[in-house]
Amino acid sequence: MEIGQKLEKFRTLLRMSQQQFAESVKIPQSTYSKMETGVSSKIYVSNLAKIAEKYGLSLDWLVLDKGDPPKIDIWKMDSTTKTKNLDQNGQGSVV
């Protein structure tokens, strides 16, 4: 799975728009959109690092497909916290 596909899956699990997600990591929305859609072949590590740090993602998994997919708390879904696991294809399952 490409980096942009992983970012999109993660963002949609959070139920955030591209604008909301970009603002949350202090990246211009146009830059984030290009990262997610693959319009630009340049993805700066500094932007990926912001996303990884903010949301606890592994750069190894995000960039190199190494290690386990992230286990994340989806606090934006509803008033109760649900945990989702992403499999290697970026699919989520409620735990």
- Domain coordinates in residue numbering, the chain: 3-94
Q: What is the pLDDT of residue 85?
A: 52
Q: What is the pLDDT of residue 1?
A: 83
Planar angle of CA 28, 40, 31, nearest 5 degrees: 5
- Give me the count of residues in the chain: 95
As a whole number of angstroms, the distance between CA 75 and CA 63 comes to 25
Q: Which homologous superfamily is 3-94 in? A: lambda repressor-like DNA-binding domains (1.10.260.40)
Q: What is the pLDDT of residue 91?
A: 52
SS3 84: strand
* Beta-bridge mates of residue 84: 72, 94
pLDDT tens for 45-83 read 999 999 999 988 889 988 998 877 766 655 444 433 344
* Exposure b/e, 13-26, CB count within 10 A at least 16 = b: bbeeebeebbebbe
pTM comes to: 0.71
